[in-house]
Structure 1
Amino acid sequence: MPELIRHLAHWPSGVPRTLDVADCSLFSHLEGSAARLPDKPATVFYGKPTTFREMHAAAVALAGYLQQRLGVRRGDRVLLLMQTCPQFYAAFYAVMRCDAVVVAINPMSTPDEIAYYADDSGARVLLATQDMADRAIPLLDNGTLDACVVGALSDFAGTPDASPWLEIPAIVQEPRRPMPHPRCHDLAAVLAAGLPCGPTLASGRDLAVIGYTSGTTGKPKGAMLTHRNFCYTLAHRAHWQCDREDEDELLVLPPSHLAGMRVMLQAGRIGRTLVMLARWDAKAAVELIHRLRIRSWPAVPTMLSDVMGAADAGEHDLSSLTRLYGGAAAMPEALARELQERLGLVFLESYGMTEFCGLSLSNPPQAARRQCAGVPVINCDVRVIDPITLEELGPNQPGEIVMHGPTLFAGYLNKPEATAETLVDIEGKRFLRSGDLGYHDENGYFYVTDRLKRMINSSGLKVWPAEIESALYGHPAVQEACVIAARDPHRGETVKAVIVLRSAARGTVSGDDLTAWARERMAAYKVPRLVEFVDALPRTATGKILWRVVQEEEDRREREGAVG
């Protein structure tokens, strides 16, 4: 069956059907913006602007230090452990300037998770802010890491006097601490050293980022993404959304995630100002939109719902917003209607995966549909296949969504078998198997209806049950564990653990005990918020736990509860 073209009838006016990009490093984007707009703020962080000239200088100085003092070379992996902040921005581009590879870590990661990322990626250097650096100290002691560069959020933040209407978190106001380890290097001193960089040699084919994504086997896999992958997805967005440098954007999504990272890189590419919040704060977001007249905001539905609740129509004017977009979680119909009624805006939904550099489907801005993933973006071929026979399916026939295009990843780091399992050849082209079930209609719009793989979507953060189950089996009282999704009115879904306790532990271990134990061993968003104890779990004849049966029972009870 040929590539779908029905959606071209809804193609945005003026947007090319195909495009190509320069063979360059992502660092050239920041370099160009700094030359073109040196005095324009690249970021505004709690009232303090950092210009493109200053951001470029910080990235270059950090890159020089990484090369000359810490031995970072082309292709080396460098860990980034930070909240949403200007330091992440500078650190990312510094790694690019070294021709090295960013391994961005979720800021909620535990010490054990950080150790896994360091070991699997082979990274020897970590860049962190002081509120998180302590989690990496054991890796310096045991020799996993050679060095850690540590910065204070307050170095790039304004004072309370600069924005008296904005509550600044304690971690952002905290003064610079003494370095916690002999092999820690103070970021302020690093930047002040001003060491020069060597020549840059990276091309579009070189790796830029290793983005970790979990899976059904439990252990996170590192998706390898090139400079060219990012250049394509950024060029697409510039055309599709008519991106302009004068549209200040609010960034509250973590840049350690592909969604936030793409927003940051697009701002660096076109010279747009990013207004950043280190932590999600609905009241702060409302004040920033109102007072700074922010025009663009990428968000997940829970954030938008929070803002709608926090905004007082008589005191807060949100009319400067001209674009709301996102795609990590489904947009509820009621919230979509409220956004359109109160703000006159249609939430622009999209769909993507880390392995596809974050975007394969997006709604045309002039013909957006609610609760719809959109149409294939520029240069992307997206189809639906039967997940068993791999036969391609026609309109309104549900199957697995697969995608091909120039943003397709280079494979999983150190996992060739997992790479082979997630790819399929169709008409001589490599397609990525999404693991999501859906269909396309007669007009070429795609809808995601279910998932083929086990996955929990909590406020846009993906949680893979096998990873949580593997950890829970480490508790001495747990005999069996099955992790499923439970409905949550705020997050959409939350993590629930159905547990069979060892006979000796029954009556002595509570759900709160297990939750507290898990909180010490995994990122907060992965911790089971609900725990149910059962005498036995359903199994196949070969002894495999029937997780679908457990999930269906949970869904049935939730439906009956809703009806009641």
Structure 2
Amino acid sequence: MTSHRSEAIQALLAERESTIDEIWRAAEERLDRPLSEGLNTAHEACDRWARDRSRIAIIVRHPDGRSERWTFAELSHASSRMATALTAAGLKPGDRFAALLGQGVEAFICALAAWRAGLIYMPMFVGFGPDAVAERLRSGRPEAVVVDHRYREVLEKARLLLDHDPKIYTVTGEGGRGLLVGDRSLWAEIDRHTASAGTAVTAPGDAATLMYTSGTTGAPKGCIQPHSMVLSLQPFVRHAFALLPSDLLFTGANPGWSYGLHVTGTAVMAQGRPAVIYTGDFDARAWLRVMAEERVTYAAGAPTAFRRVVQAARQVGLPTSLRGASCAGEPLDAPLAEAWHVLAGSDLQDGYGQSESAMVLANLAYDPHPAVPGALSSVVPGFYVGLVDDDGNEQQEQGIIALRSPRYQASTGYWNAPHLWDARWRGEWFLTGDLARRDEQGRWHFIGRDDDLIVTSGYNVGPTEVENIILAHPGVQEAAVVAAPDPARGNVVRAVIVPNGTDLQARIAADVRDAVKQHLGRHAAPKVIDFVDALPRTETGKIRRNVLREQHSGD
């Protein structure tokens, strides 16, 4: 076993010396069928592995202790039945099938059913309120929506704001709870239809998923993600997660977003690897218990979740089976990275990507160079990533993260908004809108969104770098840095802090200013520091910097 593992690691390291063309040629050869015969996510992520009828795809753990083990064959059969039901209900290739589902096998059954029927799957985050759900439904105009009974009331309120009436499939609770008049029971529909639906022949560039952005920088945009998504994510999963046949992944990512549905979902399934999901509300101790009981070897989630896992693990410890972990979705700050390393003895790997681009920067597995907390070490094999200015001119030290002529990109455009997609391009460069700097060793340091950059007295200050320093203070639980208007300087740096414990706020403020001056310079030190009970966040946990910018000091 040790010999095979060593050989696999050496092969992975050798692959990183390949050219971009060689990376993608090898990725294409790992598919079950030649691209000339088409590419359908349902086949690649499920059916090809269903030939081994005992192969586990998903382990579902519930808060009450119940567990389910789903094989690829069972997923294939159930999703084929659901595809038959959708076709019988009148849905046609190209129609949208929306979902308001949390962690659970239903999200993957419905996604697979949509793809095999030639539909476009349209996931939505379960934390959205009625207005956010209605906004996405008005844009995508799905023919049908599947909803968990826990979110049926939210969907009903959203329906009142629509000018069309999609069919509703409900995942009912105990005793049929959540099923309203006119609804169809998801599991009843699956049970009463046969697995007669074939898999649609789709091209790699055909639309598979309509994934809406979180809307933190404006109205949510619908990213059109093609069936080749399983290709665009293959290098990241191979080189960051680096899962071996003996590995078992735990994913805490919600399937309403790309990271949960695709990165830790279908991209892992496409390698024939199993994953563990937990259906309850977030509970750090429950995560640790499930990982320990299932002998999980690798975990993936958001930094916000890992912060609470670290707090819980300081009391109960980490599972002894856990060899590694990875996070994405928001910046990984240095204090969290260091705290994890102390507990785990291994790095909490960082990954960067977007629904529009794919996962393109990461701390790769088995990197011989030491990790620097809060920095991304490498470009994911298969991509050319650079720093450019707003005109697309390449920069050496700091600029907008951009992809040059990506072979397989996560999205092909924005739904009903081609002008917004075109605005992201500067010739061969696709601009992410995120700022970063590169150090002398080539590591990438995330600065923040282009529109979050603080310009004060002629200096550019990235909020993330200041936040990393503030978060290292033991008296700080959370922090956000934004610009505050100043008549003399135009803007000054404002820090909004959630204190941790009973430290005097005046002492925290003085310490924070001194630390930022020492590490980044006087220009970056917060001139305004406010203390609050909680930071405004989106439903996904991202800080609403626009809300903080609009607030007056001391609010």
| TM-score (norm: length of structure 2) | 0.73
Cα 1:527–1:297 shift into 2, 3 Å: closer
Superposition map of 1:262-341 within 5 A = 262-278=263-279, 279-311=281-313, 316=317, 318-341=319-342
Q: In the alignment, which of 422, 430, 433 is matched to residue 432 of structure 1?
A: 430
> 1:452-501, CA deviations, whole angstroms, 9 ceiling, x for partnerless residues?
12499999xxx9x9xxxxxxxxxxxxxxxxxx9844469xxxxxxxxxxx
Q: What residue in structure 1 maps to residue 120 of structure 2?
A: 101
* Distance in 2 between residues matched to 1:489 and 1:269, nearest whole Å: 44
Q: Percent identity among equivalent residues?
A: 19
Q: What residue in structure 2 maps to residue 187 of structure 1?
A: 186
Q: What residue in structure 2 maps to residue 230 of structure 1?
A: 230
> 1:9-52, CA deviations, whole angstroms, 9 ceiling, x for partnerless residues?
xx934444422324311111200122135352522222222222
Q: Which SS does the other structure have where 1:136 is aligned?
A: helix
* Distance in 2 between residues matched to 1:489 and 1:93, nearest whole Å: 45
* Distance in 1 between residues matched to 2:336 and 2:385, nearest whole Å: 28
CA contact (8 A) 1:33 1:271 kept: yes
CA contact (8 A) 1:253 1:259 kept: yes
Q: What residue in structure 1 maps to residue 387 of structure 2?
A: 384
The answer on 1:19 being equivalent to 2:38 is no
102-111 or 301-310, larger mean C-alpha shift = 301-310
Cα 1:231–1:175 shift into 2, 3 Å: farther
* Distance in 2 between residues matched to 1:338 and 1:307, nearest whole Å: 11
Cα 1:432–1:175 shift into 2, 3 Å: farther
The answer on 1:85 being equivalent to 2:104 is yes
Shift of 1:369: 3.2
* Distance in 2 between residues matched to 1:524 and 1:347, nearest whole Å: 20
> 1:408-458, CA deviations, whole angstroms, 9 ceiling, x for partnerless residues?
521111112211211111xxx2x2212222222344322212331249999
Q: In the alignment, which of 84, 87, 104 is matched to residue 67 of structure 1?
A: 87
CA contact (8 A) 2:205 2:228 kept: yes
Shift of 1:339: 1.8
Superposition map of 1:362-381 within 5 A = 362-365=362-365, 366=367, 367=369, 368-381=371-384
CA contact (8 A) 2:400 2:431 kept: yes
Which runs of 5 or more structure 1 residues have no equivalent in the other structure? 1-10, 155-173, 466-483, 491-514, 533-546, 559-564
Shift of 1:245: 4.0
Cα 1:50–1:136 shift into 2, 3 Å: same
Shift of 1:386: 2.2
CA contact (8 A) 1:251 1:297 kept: yes
* Distance in 2 between residues matched to 1:178 and 1:354, nearest whole Å: 31
Q: Which SS does the other structure have where 2:395 is aligned?
A: coil
AA partner of residue 122 (structure 1): R
Q: In the alignment, which of 444, 447, 472 is matched to residue 446 of structure 1?
A: 444
* Distance in 2 between residues matched to 1:238 and 1:305, nearest whole Å: 25
Q: What residue in structure 1 maps to residue 5 of structure 2?
A: none
Shift of 1:143: 5.6
Shift of 1:203: 1.9
Q: What residue in structure 2 maps to residue 36 of structure 1?
A: 52
125-134 or 213-222, larger mean C-alpha shift = 213-222
Cα 1:239–1:416 shift into 2, 3 Å: same
Q: How many residues align?
A: 448
The answer on 1:400 being equivalent to 2:400 is yes
AA partner of residue 234 (structure 1): Q
Cα 1:525–1:486 shift into 2, 3 Å: same
Shift of 1:108: 1.0
* Distance in 2 between residues matched to 1:209 and 1:412, nearest whole Å: 11
Which runs of 5 or more structure 2 residues have no equivalent in the other structure? 1-11, 454-462, 472-479, 483-493, 501-533
Q: What residue in structure 1 maps to residue 135 of structure 2?
A: 116
Cα 1:437–1:275 shift into 2, 3 Å: same
Q: Which SS does the other structure have where 1:419 is aligned?
A: helix
AA partner of residue 61 (structure 1): R
Q: In the alignment, which of 35, 52, 61 is matched to residue 45 of structure 1?
A: 61
CA contact (8 A) 1:246 1:272 kept: no
* Distance in 1 between residues matched to 2:348 and 2:153, nearest whole Å: 39
> 1:496-525, CA deviations, whole angstroms, 9 ceiling, x for partnerless residues?
xxxxxxxxxxxxxxxxxxx9xx99xx9585
Q: What residue in structure 2 maps to residue 7 of structure 1?
A: none
Cα 1:32–1:390 shift into 2, 3 Å: closer
Q: Which SS does the other structure have where 2:46 is aligned?
A: helix
Shift of 1:138: 4.9
RMSD between aligned residues: 3.3
* Distance in 1 between residues matched to 2:436 and 2:319, nearest whole Å: 35
Q: Which SS does the other structure have where 1:438 is aligned?
A: strand
* Distance in 1 between residues matched to 2:49 and 2:372, nearest whole Å: 34
Q: What residue in structure 2 maps to residue 54 of structure 1?
A: 74
Q: What residue in structure 1 maps to residue 460 of structure 2?
A: none
* Distance in 1 between residues matched to 2:257 and 2:84, nearest whole Å: 26
Shift of 1:316: 4.8
> 1:270-329, CA deviations, whole angstroms, 9 ceiling, x for partnerless residues?
23222212221111111112221111101222322222222366x655121112111222
